[in-house]
Homo-oligomer: A and B are copies of this chain.
Amino acid sequence: MGEDKLIAKMREVLPVGGNTLVWSGDDCAEIATTTGSFLISTDVLVEDVHFRIDWSSAFEVGVRAAQQNMADIMGQGGIVTALVVSLVIPPYLSEDWLCDLVAGFAAAVAPTGAGVVGGDLSRGAQLVISVTVCGESVKTPLPGSILRSGARPGDVVAVAGTLGYSYAGLQLLQRGNEQPEFALFKQIFKTPQPPLEMGPLAALAGATALMDVSDGLSSDLARLAKASQVSVLLSKTALSAFTAPLEAVAVSLGRSALDLVLNGGEDHALLACFPAGIEVPSGFTVIGSVEAGGAEVWLDSEKLSESGWDHFA
């Protein structure tokens, strides 16, 4: 059936809830409290699916689990306030290893001021790390979420953070590449560094749409375009700010830097749309613009397919 269809079928039976301001389908849900609201999102990481313990230290696995979850709060313009984490623990992991994982998780969360406020442990066959992150939107009135559906014709499209580093790092790890000049890419794959503080900054600056870039720029832009019923026009020239640092590693991997930037996921950069005429906050790089209708993504005069930019074309 495929994951998207399975999720769609499951969503049909799920209750929306009387306090739900923003339901499943964006980076977070937003839930009303008596006098306010909170954001919530969950992500599960499975050994050998999302990480490998022969590539990453326990500490790094913990950092990654925290960062990729906190990126969802960033992607809706919120501030992280609390996380809970459950571990399913296989017999071959030592207690020291698990404590290092938790230390990495804690180290990634602590600078945000959020708490790690609960958890659960179970034994099991395979390491599973399940994280739920909560946050607070900085906008009023409620819902304060900045959604992927808010882009408007005339907006500029901008990105904060890195693109393609994580995917390059994965390729390097798979090939056993040890070149020191490429170490950063591997590090970003193992411990992504989403620009968490840029989420609320963009929201307060007037962003119309926000989104965590988790699956790759072109496919996440296609989702934003579809949700907002607009088209996005990317500029190759503007993207050079993102392709330039990847030129050397792209040559080494036999790919193009543009391919890595457009299709590489898991850097957890922040994608934002801002109304034309407002000053785009420092830390964002404008990469294109929003056009009326179509729900398409264009790279200069080339229309990208729904599955992303075809790097074989």
Contacts and interface: CB of A to CB of B under 8 A. Distances in A.
Interface stretch (A30-38, A225-233, A251-259): A30-38
Contacts of A84: 29, 40-42, 132
A23 B117 CA distance: 5
Given A99-B10, A121-B7, A81 B34 contact: no
A50 B49 CA distance: 23
A130 to B, nearest CB: 3
Contacts of A120: 42-44
A134 B33 CA distance: 10
A245 B41 CA distance: 42
B82 A40 contact: yes
Interface residues of A, number: 69
A115 B18 CA distance: 7
Interface string A111-131: 001111111111111101010
Name, among A38, A50, A110, A114, the residue most crowded by chain B CB atoms within 10 Å (CB to CB): A38
A29 B14 CA distance: 25
A311 interface: no
A136 B7 CA distance: 28
A287 B121 CA distance: 31
Interface in A179-238: none
Contacts of A109: 15
A95 interface: yes
A45 B102 CA distance: 20
A20 interface: yes
Interface of A: 1, 3, 6-7, 9-10, 13-20, 23-24, 28-29, 31-38, 40-46, 49-50, 81-82, 84-88, 95, 98-99, 102-103, 106, 109-110, 113-126, 128, 130, 132, 134, 136
